[in-house]
């Protein structure tokens, strides 16, 4: 249901009526010992360490209802957070939702939004265990994700060393291509547009990389080059991306040709695909599904492309 088609608003439904509407009948996974209904949730942490991450999505900045349905927005809100948990080498266990919206927001928008959140969470075996709802001038979603390391070492951004192999798992450039298509007023190709509406992070790749001995890892949210810059800074190394190793899907080539855009730019600097990039010690084969795209170099070079500095902006940055 579109935001314009509903008659009942959240102001008429009320805070507790809305909470009942989005929590009733939801089945929680095994790690949830106590779900919504009390002052706080209780989630099992077999490893003894809790991995936590929070993201905020603002209407008009991170999503638009003329481009995406509330269901897709809900899925995206959960996906971008669970990708951060995976990037630490952990398995997601639960999420908490903070929601702010105007009182005239149609209740159906919120229920569809939360339905989408449950679709994404349930696909990964994750429960929505609690949260909060408040009044605001615009729709804002805050998601806190929790995860469990399962006895694995946490994978941070600071472990890369010169000589390591740089690899990636997941799609690159698709969400940026979808944004370009939507920005031109088109709604197809559907696969590209849906990549912008909701990412498909490789959730299993984080624990997989950790078990394979990854030395560093990061979720690609703001652009490959921009996020690799965080690894380079934290590890005090250089990183070189080799464009001949990058995969540019035929569909991106077609969209680039139609829009007069270079799809390589989407792959290098486009955000919101939430692929994972990691570094591995040289020698052993990469884990299944990971593909090499470059290497870790000596400090002082920053992030380069084919051995040269990248002159254009490396990705997205807020307030710029």
Binding residues: 39, 53-55, 62, 84, 131-132, 157, 219, 221-222, 272, 316
Residues 19 and 133: beta-carbon distance below 8 Å? yes
CA 69 to each of CA 76, 105, 135, 300: distance values in angstroms, whole numbers, following the listed order: 11, 14, 21, 45
- Helix or strand or coil: residue 249? coil
Token pair belonging to 217? 């890892």
As a whole number of angstroms, the distance between CA 160 and CA 279 comes to 6
Contact 49, 146 (CB under 8 A): no
Q: Residues 157, 229: contact at Cβ < 8 Å?
A: no
Known binding-site residues for ATP equal 131-132, 157, 221
Say if CB 91 and CB 30 are below 8 A apart.
no
Residue 234 phi, psi dihedral angles, 5° rounding: -70, -35
Binding-site residues for substrate, in ranges, read 62, 272, 316
Q: 5 φ, ψ to 5°?
A: -95, -10
Known binding residues for Mg(2+)? 39, 53-55, 84, 132, 219, 222
């Amino acid at each position: 249901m579109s935001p314009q088609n509903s008659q009942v608003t959240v102001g008429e439904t009320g805070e507790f009526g809305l909470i009942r509407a989005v929590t009733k009948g939801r089945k929680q996974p095994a790690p949830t010992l106590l779900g919504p209904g009390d002052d706080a949730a209780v989630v099992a942490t077999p490893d003894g360490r809790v991995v936590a991450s929070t993201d905020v999505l603002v209407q008009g900045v991170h999503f638009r209802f003329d481009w995406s349905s509330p269901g897709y927005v809900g899925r995206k809100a959960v996906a971008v957070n669970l990708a951060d948990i995976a990037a630490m080498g952990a398995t997601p266990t639960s999420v908490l939702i903070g929601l702010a919206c105007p009182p005239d927001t149609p209740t159906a928008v919120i229920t569809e939004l939360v339905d989408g959140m449950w679709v994404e969470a349930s696909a990964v075996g994750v429960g929505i265990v609690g949260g909060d709802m408040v009044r605001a001038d615009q729709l804002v979603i805050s998601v806190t994700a929790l995860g469990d390391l399962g006895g694995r070492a946490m994978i941070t951004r600071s472990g890369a060393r010169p000589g390591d192999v740089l690899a990636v798992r997941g799609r690159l450039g698709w969400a940026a291509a979808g944004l370009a298509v939507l920005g031109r007023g088109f709604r197809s190709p559907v696969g590209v547009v849906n990549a912008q509406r909701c990412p498909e992070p490789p959730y299993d790749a984080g624990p997989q990389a950790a078990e394979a001995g990854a030395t560093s890892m990061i979720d690609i949210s703001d652009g490959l080059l921009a996020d690799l810059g965080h690894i380079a800074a934290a590890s005090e190394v250089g990183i070189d991306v080799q464009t001949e190793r990058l995969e540019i899907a035929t569909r991106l080539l077609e969209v680039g040709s139609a829009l007069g855009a270079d799809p390589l730019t989407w792959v290098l600097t486009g955000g919101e695909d939430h692929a994972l990039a990691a570094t591995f010690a040289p020698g052993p084969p990469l884990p299944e599904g990971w593909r090499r795209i470059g290497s870790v170099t000596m400090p002082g070079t920053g992030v380069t492309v084919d051995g040269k500095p990248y002159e254009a902006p490396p990705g997205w940055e807020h307030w710029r």
